[in-house]
Amino acid sequence: MSAPEYEIGRVVAGDAAAIAAAAVRMRDQPVDLERLHDGPYPFSKWHTTIGSAQSASGHATFSPRNSTLTFSPTREDGWWIRRTDQKEQFPFKVSVRNVWTTARNIVLRCGNPHNYLRMVEHIVALRVGMGVDSLLIETDSGDPPLFDRGNLDLVEAIEKAGIVETDAPARFITVKEPVTFGGNRGDFLTFLPAKPGECGLRVDCAIDFPSVIGRQRIRFDVTPETFRIGAEARTNAPSKEYWYAKTVGKLFADTRNLGYTRRNILVHGKTKYLNEPKLVFGGKALEAVWHRATLDLLAAVALLDTGRFAGTIVSYRAGHTQDVRMAGLLYLNDLLVPHG
């Protein structure tokens, strides 16, 4: 299955020749699965929040404890995080302006060094994937739960809460022109502007792992249905990292992923998976690329806190660091404009 060629446009970061070479490699990589939406805009065009508070609990990602997230309605604009165990700290906004680090996952922090939340990407991606503009996340630690079903537990919490419209229209943003951000390992991200009158978001995402995951590519429009598919995709880890986290990694804080199990992550080796992959289409496991496209890439889009992004995003071999850098450079280079 082939996909259109995309305009690279203005190169904001990276080497133009390396980006062009990577774009050729992506062009030559077949699309494994398409899920395009031909109907009207799939979300409300009014500013939204949720109808009631709902919680989800699970084993924490980095420590031997349980962790709980509670989603609550809010009149504040945007998504906010409040640490219930940090009694004298203010809630802080989900925004690229509050990113602390992207070394292994996206960590947001504001004010006190203890006022943070790790691995926020799997949580805040719901802002884009479910069309919820305003929400308060309350958490009893900086260590979020890691679920056996990807993030379906959180999707179902918002579905149970209900998405409700406010009396204000939703705000949309897009890029002024096609822009591309290149990394240093043959990776790039391209943002293309939305057409007049169109508010949807299309994603074309390709990955290339030196393991059994290999080359995977999907192309889809972001709708509640496609996001629900991707929300089932678990984070993945090489078998070496998994066993390291289970043994000597327990001694080192930056690798102490004590919540990792073969149920809640996809473990991949050079030639085989160590557990059963999900999201198999046409005999090919696409769990890794669905996770990358929905729970990682859309999380970076959620950090654009001035409106819902409309347009097309092309991602080739990119990751958290490139995603978040992109979000910052869009603002720093004044590349975002109101749309709609």
Q: What is the pLDDT of residues 236-276, one digit of tens each?
A: 888 777 656 656 555 454 445 556 777 888 999 999 999 99
Q: Count the helix, strand and coil residues of the chain and give each as a percent rounded to the nearest 5.
A: 25, 30, 40
Average pLDDT score, the chain: 92
Is 174 in contact with 336 (CB distance < 8 Å)? yes
Q: Where is 17: in which H helix or E strand? A: helix 16-27
Is 186 in contact with 19 (CB distance < 8 Å)? no
Q: How confident is the model at residue 295 (pLDDT cuts 50, 70, 90)?
A: very high
Residue 125: per-residue pLDDT? 98
Q: What percent of the chain has pLDDT over 70?
A: 94
Residue 101 in this model has a pLDDT that exceeds 90? no
Judged on CB neighbours under 10 Å (0-12, 13-18, 19+), 5 is exposed
pLDDT in tens, 298-313: 999 999 999 999 999 9
The upper half-sphere exposure of residue 324, i.e. CA atoms within 13 Å in the direction of its Cβ, equals 20
Lowest mean pLDDT among 51-65, 191-205, 213-227, 278-292: 51-65
pLDDT in tens, 154-169: 999 999 999 999 999 9
Residue 102: per-residue pLDDT? 86
Lowest mean pLDDT among 118-122, 259-263, 291-295: 259-263
Residue 255: per-residue pLDDT? 47
Residue 258: per-residue pLDDT? 58
Residue 108: per-residue pLDDT? 95
* Residue 5 to residue 190: CA distance in whole angstroms: 12
Q: Which amino acid is at 31?
A: V
Please say whether the dihedral angle defined by the alpha carbons of residues 91, 96, 100 and 102, taken in this order, is positive or negative.
positive
Mean pLDDT, range 180-204, rounded to an integer: 96
The token pair that represents 28 in the structure block: 């030559």
* Residue 80 to residue 182: CA distance in whole angstroms: 30
Domains of the chain: 10-44+171-339 (3.30.1700.10), 47-169 (3.30.230.20)
Judged on CB neighbours under 10 Å (0-12, 13-18, 19+), 282 is exposed
